[in-house]
Amino acid sequence: MKYDLKLLTVDEKIQLLMGKNTWQTKDIDGKMPSVFLSDGPSGLRRVAIRLDEDGKPIGNYTMPATAMPAASSLSYTWSPELARLDGEVIADECIEKNADVLLAPGVNIKRTPLCGRNFEYFSEDPLVAGKLAKAFIEGVQSRNVGTSLKHFFVNNAENDRSYKSTEVDERTLREIYLPAFERALEAKPWTVMCSYNPINGVWASENNKILRKLLREELGFEGLIVSDWGAVHDMPRAVKAGVDLTMPYRELYLNELREAYARGEVTEAEIDECCERVLRLIELCESKDKEVKMSRNERHGAAKRIADEAIVLLKNDNNTLPLKGGKIYVEGGFAKKPPIGGGGSSLVTCDYSFVPLGELVANNLGDCCELVSANGRYTTTVDSKGARALPNIIAAALRADTVVLAVGNDSLCESESFDRTTMRLDKRQEDAIIALSRAAKKLVVVLYTGTAIDMSAWIDKVSAVVLAGYAGEAVNEAVADVLTGKVCPSGKITETYPLSENDVPVLAVDTTRPYEVYSDGVLVGYRHYDYYDKEVLFPFGHGLSYTSFEYSNLKIDKQGESDYMVSFDVTNTGEVDGKEVCQIYVSDLLSMVIRPVRELRAFEKVMLRSGETKRISISLSYRDFAYYSTAHDSWHVENGEFEILIGASSRDIRLSKRIDIQLPREKQHTLPQ
């Protein structure tokens, strides 16, 4: 190592284990550089010091940056390739603005649709979250910028996040909450961030079982563990549990560590272990091979490429979309300035000048389209707080052939540190949708949100719904291209949209108790709706296209005891070129333990020209058929029949075949007759 631990005094080593301010590590009187850690997952949020004319600091500001899609929108692409590109763009900004470690990605599972931070997370499904997070990390780190995989662990709600203990059983933890981290760890993130919450009664930052035993010993994580900002309550305990770097600076805690060392409660060897990891991180960050590769324009282009595939066409009655022309009325504040993300530490200060959605649509359609306006001007009368001038809006809608209404949430209602209180849109927005649906010949709702919405009040009244999500600064360009058919939609949702919030298994966390019992177990998201055979509005994996795809010729080749090669053809049977997300689910037909009806085990996104056929081949192995057995303390496959299902969504299964797995006697336990 370049920086020799032996040259530091014990007190210097202690100091290295805590930041010197909110964002940087200590430099120990210039003996080493400080590492700058910075948010965030949907674009760089680099905080800098504002100076007055005389160069005196007068406060902080956030540097403007390219707003990339939030993780929720990124996941709708189902594209590791785009997740990697996303990472590369943000890494470029880090290099440009001197940030060494990006505090992203967040891979916590969307357990409840009300979690305020769902937009920062990928999915209710661990495979989707893990695959995209892994690619994102590879993208960032390919440019020699570090990442921080967060928030470890089982931090799935924001209300009371700092003290509510997650009470979760081992099997649920292994099958639902851990796999996304496991897969993302394959990309070797430079750091992992421990979460705020206690886990089974012990703070994540002091949880030896979670940090040392699970993350380090079992999963083999060799990088640095950093605390979430303020997640440490007792620094000596955090050091003992394996937190290498406590953030941000707090003198009191440092003194407590000094005292604990003096009393012999924390040994020098324990301090050295953490210190070595801090030094290793400093060395990694010193890499000279850091080069900005994309211009601001190119970054915007990348944001647009990702947004194109992140937009989800949820509903399209009678081929309302793509728009063919005629009189089009585009309404809603978000049509003018879309929300680019939820609130909190991930919110990017975006310097992009948005072109109104109506203009973008009109440009795409050319002479065959006439834009209708309310009051003779482009209005911003419907925003996240509802409609303020309904009569004007209705009058305009009556003059149009198609109305496009941009509604949704924003950084005020979806945010860090608190959960939403309802899955419904603001009442005034719902009223605007309903009023416009009566006036309009066809109403297209464009929805800006980072998580599932209860549409029960209005879904039957509208012709089409386009999920814009929080797809970054290029969102409205992508929406315009999807609305007009310039882009064939290929996004699919990665969480279930229930018929109404009354159907949701875990709507809100229980704020009356200091713990949250994960009694839903492994039945999270679609696993719940499928198990209880509940109808849903839009199932996990759903997304429409302007073309159609046919699946055929499913073949399953046995390649080992529990290894199979699954292959099938997908054909674009429609008129336009398009991309399809093919999903592979596995179902254990008879089990001694409760198992979800089907679980996503693989997916592949494929580009097909009109008329083109491609063959997809995907391998499945032991873990894809297994459940986590707490009796064996390991993954276990029960002999018997399994079904392999190929679907366009979790509820649109196109092909299926059964296989019979028969492992040798020694790999089974006795089953009842």
Binding stretches for ligand BGC (CB under 6 A)? 39, 103, 150, 228-229, 345
Which residue is it, tokens 């009191």?
252
In sequence order, the 6+-apart residues with CB closer than 8 A to the CB of 39 are 45, 102, 103, 104, 345, 346
- Beta carbon nearer to ligand BGC, 39 or 125: 39
Least distance to ligand BGC, CB of residue 156, Å = 13
Least distance CB 94 / ligand BGC (angstroms): 14
Q: Which is nearer to ligand BGC, 157 or 321 (CB)?
A: 157
Shortest Å, Cβ 135 to ligand BGC: 20
Nearer to ligand BGC, 211 or 387 (CB): 211
Q: How many helices (H) and strands (E) does the chain have?
A: 18, 30
* Residues 166 and 217: beta-carbon distance below 8 Å: no
| Residue 624 is among the residues annotated as catalytic for this protein | no
Q: Which of 521, 416, 495 is nearest to 195 (CA)?
A: 416
Q: Which is nearer to ligand BGC, 227 or 463 (CB)?
A: 227
Element (H, E) at 343: none
- What is the closest distance, in whole angstroms, from the C-beta atom of residue 228 to ligand BGC in the complex? 5
- DSSP for 78-110 reads T-HHHHHHHHHHHHHHHHHTT--EE---B----
Cα 602 to chain centroid, rounded: 18
> What's the min distance (Å) between Cβ of 314 and ligand BGC?
29
Helix axes 475-483, 357-365, angle to 10 degrees: 40
Distance of closest approach, residue 54 Cβ to ligand BGC, in angstroms: 30
For tokens 């916590």, name the residue.
108
Cα angle 399, 404, 410; round to 5: 135
Decide whether 23 or 585 has the Cβ nearer to ligand BGC. Answer: 23
Q: State which residue, 88 or 228, has the beta carbon closest to ligand BGC.
A: 228
Query: Length of the chain in residues, anyone?
Result: 673
- Amino acid letter for position 399: R
Which of residues 229 and 628 has its CB atom nearest to ligand BGC in the complex?
229
CA distances from 468 to 347, 392, 433, 538 (A): 17, 25, 16, 15
Angle between helices 296-310 and 475-483 (to 10 degrees): 50
Which two three-digit tokens encode residue 617?
């081949």
What angle, 0 to 180 degrees and rounded to 10, lies between the N-to-C axes of helices 390-399 and 427-439?
30
In angstroms, what is the minimal distance from the CB of 519 to ligand BGC?
A: 25
Helix (H, G, I), strand (E, B) or coil at 430: helix
Beta carbons of 38 and 90 less than 8 angstroms apart: no
Residue 105: CB minimum distance to ligand BGC, A: 10
Catalytic residue (one of 228, 244, 410, 426)? 228
Quickly tell me which residue has 């990124």 as its tokens.
74
- Spatial separation of the C-alpha atoms in residues 17 and 148, rounded to whole Å: 17
Whether residue 423 contacts residue 462, with contact meaning beta carbons closer than 8 Å, is answered with no
- In angstroms, the CA 27 to CA 18 distance is 11
Nearer to ligand BGC, 108 or 494 (CB): 108
Question: Which residues are catalytically annotated?
Answer: 228
